[in-house]
Amino acid sequence: MIDALTANQAAALAAKLARIEVAAVYPITPQTTISEKLADMVASGGMDARFMLMESEHSAMSALIGASYVGARTFTATSSHGLALMHEVLMWASGVRRPIVMPVAARTIGGPWNIWGEHMDVITERDVGWMQFYCENNQEVLDTILMAYRVAEDPSVMLPAMVVVDGFILTHTVDAVDVPEQGLVDDYLPPFRPDPVLNLDDPRRFGLVMPDWWTEFRYRIATDMEGAKERIREADREFGRIFGRRYGGLVEHYRTEDADAVLVVAGSAAGTAKEVADRLRDEGLMVGVARLRVFRPFPSEEIAELSSKRVVGVFDRSYTFGDGGAMYNEVRSALHGSDNIVKNYVGGLGGRDVTAAHMEWVFRNMLDIADKGLDRRVEWVGLRDGSGRW
Amino acid sequence: MIEIRFHGRGGQGAVLASEILARAAIKEGLSASAFPFFGVERKGSPVTAFCRIDDRPIRLHTGIYEPDHVVVLDQALIRLTDVLSGLKENGTVLVNSPRRPEDLGLATDRPVTTVDATSIALSHRLGSPSSPIVNTAILGGLARQCDIVPIEAILDAIRFMAPAKKEENARAALEAYRRGGS
């Protein structure tokens, strides 16, 4: 059924459709309406799950690890400082291989105080062993949560997943969402049946690894994260077969095939980029968009397909104070050895709108440096004084 | 694509108006998105909300800077904010006001319509004289002024989304629609 939903409402409905068994949450803007909708559905009897309001995000994630150990499908949602407060427990969740799925309403981390959208909170958690899916629109938020459970709970993966939902831009925007039928979701997503589980009648020890096996434990996470790429591609294909919607696996290539300049961009800004790319195509400008759907595991193979492009731009909606932004650096690494120009564009921080005009400027700039050569590696887009680049 | 910008004050329901319109369009088989200007929310302070409607999927995730239609829920905002900002050449303006359009002091050659949404809302006991809930009545006026979404779809969306007094809200919208603008 086509409904009019915010991404937060869509995320809560996805949790219901996934038949989650335990939700443990602590509210934070702009995630709070996910928790509220879940609480509503559980309280009204529309959802058969245990809903726990915790005293912090740290506790919420801790509770889910325990619940997952006994075999429950688990869910929470957070944002910004809440995600930061979870940091150490995030590493626990992945280290002990609990396939928790968590939408993150992506937002700044203060100070100074700013509650609006960017990717800094999730980029900060890129190294904690969680998969990271970035969504372009509300439909994709609902669909990706279902896909994330399927991939995360695959016995060959058993790793948690964040579903990144651009704060306010998606979380608080009403859009058309096709809500799938429960029966189809049940076909797509089998019940979670982990083995082994915590069981008083069959005592085991979980969660301590001595130096003689630690390296092997980390190696298994590394290879299973790598293996998750194929599971993600397969989950996308199967989703298309059952629901009629596909997203391109780890990277959605949009008009890249014959493009001279391709912009790599994640999240809602990709929609604006595609719209602008179409307008520029009408002018005969050969531009395309490679939408980064998955940042962990990193889709090196899909990005390497861009090595024949004259210019690859990478749009970072965060800044990590390294040699350019985080997405830029990983894309640049994947393209190492090719002779194309790779340039970083940084923008859309702290609620700054990424406008069609910004995107047009970026595409034109990429075509410009295709002719003239790279002017600077990092370009901050839409700065008020137009300077501050290097 | 049609782009609509709502100007209201916190508490008047401008954001909900944009969402009701989007829902009505979606239920009519169109694509639509609705979102507020993401600022600080305080009762009484100026609020801006947006709605895009199209017959193909909406991919733009950015504000509306050049609207086709502007809807003003409080005529006093005309003096406080540039409600005409970026209005397209063939755009229109709808203002909640008991006055005639030419008496509003709007410096534009675009068509301006007024509808007395405050009186209509109060006659249906929506809000109080100091804080009337005018969003549903103004949507009736908008449906009359622009052929975007049928009034029946708007009434259905109001009944679905109004947090209270669903029928009163639907009747206020219908009355504004029937009365039409001046």
Note whether A192 and A258 are same-domain residues: no
Q: Please write the tens of the pLDDT for every residue from B120-168.
A: 999 999 999 999 999 999 999 999 998 899 999 999 999 999 999 999 9
Note whether A333 and A283 are same-domain residues: yes
Mean pLDDT of chain B: 94
Percent of chain A at pLDDT > 90 equals 96
Q: Is residue A386 part of a domain?
A: no
Note whether A154 and A15 are same-domain residues: yes
pLDDT value at residue B7: 96
Within 8 A of A176 by CB-CB distance, chain B residues are: 26, 31-33, 57
Domain B2-179, CATH = 3.40.920.10
Backbone angles phi, psi at B52, to 5 degrees: -110, 135
Q: Please write the tens of the pLDDT for every residue from A292-335.
A: 999 999 999 999 999 999 999 999 999 999 999 999 999 999 99
Q: Which of residues 268-327 of A touch B (CB under 8 A)?
A: 268-269, 271-272, 274-275
Within 8 A of B61 by CB-CB distance, chain A residues are: 136-137, 166, 169-170, 173, 268-269, 271-272, 354
Note whether A22 and A119 are same-domain residues: yes
**Is the Cβ–Cβ distance between B70 and A361 less than 8 Å?**
no
Q: CA of A165 to nearest chain B CA: how many angstroms apart?
A: 13
Note whether A167 and A278 are same-domain residues: no
Taking an 8 Å cut-off on Cβ atoms, the answer to whether A275 and B36 are in contact is no
Note whether A41 and A139 are same-domain residues: yes
Note whether A98 and A221 are same-domain residues: yes
Evaluate if residue A158 carries a pLDDT over 90.
Answer: yes
- How many Å apart are CA A109 and CA A79, to the nearest integer? 9
H/E stretch holding A102 reads strand A101-106
Q: Which two tokens stand for residue A181?
A: 């039928």
- Cβ–Cβ contact B27 with A under 8 A: yes
Q: Please write the tens of the pLDDT for every residue from B67-78.
A: 999 999 999 999
Domain at A305, CATH number? 3.40.50.920
* Tally of structural domains, chain A: 2
Taking an 8 Å cut-off on Cβ atoms, the answer to whether B60 and A172 are in contact is no
Q: Region A32-45: what's the mean pLDDT?
A: 97
pTM of the predicted structure, to 2 decimals: 0.97
Identify the CA nearest to A165 among candidates A90, A41, A266.
A266
Evaluate if residue A390 carries a pLDDT over 50.
Answer: no
- Here the ipTM equals 0.95
Domain boundaries defined on chain B = 2-179
Taking an 8 Å cut-off on Cβ atoms, the answer to whether B62 and A173 are in contact is no
B131: three-class secondary structure by DSSP: strand
Q: Which two tokens stand for residue B98?
A: 């008991």
Q: Please write the tens of the pLDDT for every residue from A343-384.
A: 999 999 999 999 999 999 999 999 999 999 999 999 999 888
pLDDT value at residue B147: 87
Note whether A203 and A316 are same-domain residues: no
- Cβ–Cβ contact B26 with A under 8 A: yes
Note whether A231 and A323 are same-domain residues: no
Q: Which of A218, A243, A268 is the last residue of a domain?
A: A243
Note whether A186 and A143 are same-domain residues: yes
pLDDT value at residue A110: 95
- Cβ–Cβ contact B163 with A under 8 A: no
Q: Which two tokens stand for residue B159?
A: 């009944």
pLDDT value at residue A388: 46
Q: Give the sign of the dihedral formed by CA A13, CA A14, CA A19, CA A25.
A: negative
Q: Is residue A390 part of a domain?
A: no
pLDDT grade for B182, boundaries at 50, 70 and 90 = low
Q: Region A61-77: what's the mean pLDDT?
A: 98
pLDDT value at residue A385: 67
pLDDT value at residue A34: 98
Quote the domain boundaries for residue A55: 2-243
DSSP string across A127-142:
TSS-EEEE-SSHHHHH
Percent of chain B at pLDDT > 70 equals 98
Evaluate if residue B10 carries a pLDDT over 90.
Answer: no
Evaluate if residue A386 carries a pLDDT over 70.
Answer: no
Q: Is residue A388 part of a domain?
A: no
Domain at A140, CATH number? 3.40.50.970
Weakest-pLDDT range from A103-112, A143-152, A204-213, B28-37? A204-213
Q: How far is CA A162 from CA A16, A30, A148, A245, in A?
A: 17, 16, 8, 21
Q: Please write the tens of the pLDDT for every residue from A71-84.
A: 999 999 999 999 99
The 10 Å Cβ neighbour count of residue A77 is 33
Mean pLDDT of chain A: 96
Backbone angles phi, psi at A23, to 5 degrees: -120, 130
Note whether A228 and A127 are same-domain residues: yes
